[in-house]
Amino acid sequence: MKKILKISLCTFVLAISIFAMFRIDTNAKTANKNGLKIIIEEKDNIEKEKQVLLDRKKTEETKEKVEVKREKRTITKTSEVKKSVPKNNPTTKTNSVKYGTFGRLYVSNFSVALYDYNVNTQSSSSLQTIVNNQDSAAYYINNGRLVIADHNYQGFSILANLNVGTTSYIKFKDGSIIRYKLIKKSKGVNTGPDLKDNNGNSFLNMDSDIIMYTCYGDGIMVTLWKLA
């Protein structure tokens, strides 16, 4: 009887121990599950916070891009305005350039307005009057040649320093241009209606499209030009 009671007591103690161990294991599992749940929730919260930060960053970057675009547009518009505003009033500049009655001649770094005078017809302006005026050279047609004359002390002395091959041009008020190329330069004399070299040959009979001359020493310096 004692032996049976002892065995029963041992069995009861063992059962209590097993139950206690099961409780502990169950609690541990529950704790682990709860702990894992907390970790997962924390991880989710971190991910959510991370996404919020990323979204906020994207929003800020979008705002910055918009601001940069606005600044670029502003700079572009400002540049366009600056480009559209000329440094000098174009009307004033155009009006300050004299084109005479036959445009404006440009030779090297010299330029002068051309005014009509024809030695073969009556004219209200004399050749002398035209060349005496500042920024004024006379032009006329003689023997099918366009002739241009001006005083050497008003800038036409440039003719004596030109080399064959030099180019010049006449610019007209409408913006069109006729270019010429120097083919001959020679000393000569002005006999009145004619221009001759020192051998008595008329420059008007020589092949050229335009003749320019000016006083030079005791005679004249004559240059012959062809269309360039």
pLDDT for position 79: 46
Contact 221, 187 (CB under 8 A): yes
Res. 186 pLDDT band, cuts 50 70 90: very high
Helix (H) or strand (E) holding 24: helix 2-84
Distances from the Cα of 12 to the Cα of 21, 23, 162, angstroms: 14, 16, 135
Contact 98, 121 (CB under 8 A): no
Work out the mean pLDDT of the chain and round it to a whole number. 75
pLDDT for position 152: 95
Q: Tell which wins on pLDDT, 73 or 225.
A: 225
Res. 86 pLDDT band, cuts 50 70 90: very low
Say whether pTM exceeds 0.75: no
Contact 37, 45 (CB under 8 A): no
pLDDT, tens digit, 9 for 90 and up, residues 31-63: 455 555 555 555 455 555 556 556 665 666 666
